[in-house]
Amino acid sequence: MIGFDMRRGCTVSENDLHVTGTLIWYYYICHREVWLMARNMVPDQDNSNVDLGRFIHEQSYRRDKKEISLGHIKLDIVKNGKDGLVIGEVKKSSKSEASARMQLAYYLSELEKAGLEAKGELRFPKEKRRETVELTDELRAKLDLAVRDILRIAYLEDPPGPIKIKFCRNCAYNEFCWA
């Protein structure tokens, strides 16, 4: 066992913790959310933004295969493109485009480790916009640093302190941090 917090009753063990695309996504937004998610502390499922994201995910791109799980990653879209395998990540807006790009790069990296070459596509259905993402050496280096720091954060005994940022207002963990 790595950590147990009597106040929160949550544990993190080496066997339980896997860096996921979701943790990569949150790493570039809020380190406190990384700690909470790594410990399986579920955000408020009644949050309107969670509902909206779920709705957009379910209703967009119905013709493409969706939600395919490979190990500890979940891919929103998997299709054969004219140049080979294409995986897609669907987001409700491009406000967090940088974190979405890194999440998709993480998926591309995990597929590469499994011997599969793919290209990525970020999709923003409300904006009717797509962006192609290819795994580069620069992205691989950024991902390596992010994964190491995510593990460091996850194994902290207590969560990082809350920091007020632009995403707090709509965050499903808002009450946890600011109540």
- The per-residue pLDDT for 71 is 79
Task: For residue 179, give every residue at least 6 positions away whose Cβ sits within 8 Å of its Cβ, in sequence order, or none.
Answer: none
Helix (H) or strand (E) holding 92: none
- For domain 3-172, the CATH class is alpha beta
pTM for this structure? Answer: 0.78
Q: How many angstroms separate the CA atoms of 175 and 50, rounded?
A: 14
Per residue of the chain (179 residues), give pLDDT as tens: 344 343 444 445 545 678 999 999 999 999 999 999 898 887 655 545 544 445 544 555 455 546 677 777 888 888 888 888 999 998 888 888 999 999 999 999 999 999 999 999 999 988 989 999 999 999 999 999 999 999 999 999 999 999 998 888 888 888 878 77
- The per-residue pLDDT for 63 is 52
Q: Which amino acid is located at 153 in the chain? A: I
